[in-house]
């Protein structure tokens, strides 16, 4: 089993362990009623997915580690504006009829802004959901292709486990979606709608959160 799979397993176990850990520590640390105005988190995790269907095969972003930085600004208790940046360095693969070939290395960056909302508090554990909008930057390396920017969205859930007033652990699972193209249509049979193709990825990550 590779280190990447071990990392994914550890992160999943940590997500399940967070509520229990928060309950145990909740007896020694009681979070303040007022929430901090600003939080800064550093994250590292495992990112997978990212397949683009072609006529004769698929372009696939190989699974690999990813890191990120998140800033949360509190606008009211339980609601924050979130600014985030994340990066994955991976191989871009070509798969067709049982053949798999590496094309080149690619960097995948997500620049996002959106909102985070808490939906439950249990002791010093805060469960949240998030949704952000922004751009994805594809940065090919060692190829003749230029870099590219595309519109993207990120959906996620997670938990913050605070060990003190200023320091906590952030655990989250997110689904970044990058739109490569989209188009609207209207006809008499189906009505109106939007169709397109996107790159869907998954991410499990964890890291420390510092409150100010």
DSSP the chain: --HHHHHHHHHHHHHHHHHHHHHHHHTT----SSPPSEEEEEEEEEEEE-EEE-SSSEEEEPPEEEEEEEEEEEEETTEEEEEEEEEEEEEEEEEETTEEEEEEEEEEEEEEEEEEEEEEEETTEEEEEEEEEEEEEEEEESSSPPPEEEEEEEEEEEEEEESSSSEEEEEEEEEEEEEEEEEEEEETTTEEEEEEEEEEEEEEEEEEEEE-
Of the candidates 102, 89, 93, 178, the one whose C-alpha atom is nearest the C-alpha of residue 139 is 89
Is 171 exposed, middle or buried, given 0-12, 13-18 or 19+ CB atoms closer than 10 A?
A: buried
Domains of the chain: 3-211 (2.40.160.20)
Along the 212 residues of the chain, how does pLDDT read in single tens digits?
A: 455 555 555 555 555 555 555 455 444 456 555 678 999 999 999 999 999 887 788 999 999 999 999 999 999 999 999 999 999 999 999 999 888 999 999 999 999 999 999 999 999 999 999 999 999 999 999 888 899 999 999 999 999 999 998 999 999 999 999 998 655 545 544 455 545 578 999 999 999 999 99
What's residue 52's pLDDT?
Answer: 86
pLDDT, position 149: 95
Q: What pTM did the predictor assign?
A: 0.81
Calpha distance 62→109 (Å, rounded):
15
């Amino acid at each position: 089993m590779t280190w990447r799979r071990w990392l994914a397993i550890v992160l999943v176990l940590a997500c399940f362990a967070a509520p229990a850990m928060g309950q145990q520590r909740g007896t020694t640390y009681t979070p303040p009623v007022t929430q901090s105005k600003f939080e800064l988190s550093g994250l590292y995790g495992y990112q997978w997915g990212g397949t683009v269907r072609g006529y004769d095969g698929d372009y696939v972003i190989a699974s690999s580690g990813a890191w990120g930085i998140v800033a949360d600004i509190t606008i009211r208790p339980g609601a924050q504006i979130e600014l985030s940046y994340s990066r994955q360095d991976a191989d871009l693969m070509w798969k067709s009829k049982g053949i798999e070939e590496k094309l080149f290395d690619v960097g995948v960056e997500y620049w996002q802004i959106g909102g985070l909302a808490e939906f439950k508090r249990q002791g010093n554990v805060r469960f949240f959901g998030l949704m952000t909008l922004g751009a994805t930057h594809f940065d090919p390396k060692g190829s003749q292709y230029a870099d590219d920017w595309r519109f993207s969205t990120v959906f996620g859930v997670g938990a913050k486990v605070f060990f003190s007033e200023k320091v906590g652990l952030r655990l989250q699972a997110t689904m970044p979606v990058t739109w490569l193209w989209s188009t609207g249509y209207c006809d008499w049979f189906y009505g109106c709608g939007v169709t397109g193709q996107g790159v869907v990825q998954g991410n499990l990550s964890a890291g420390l959160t510092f409150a100010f």
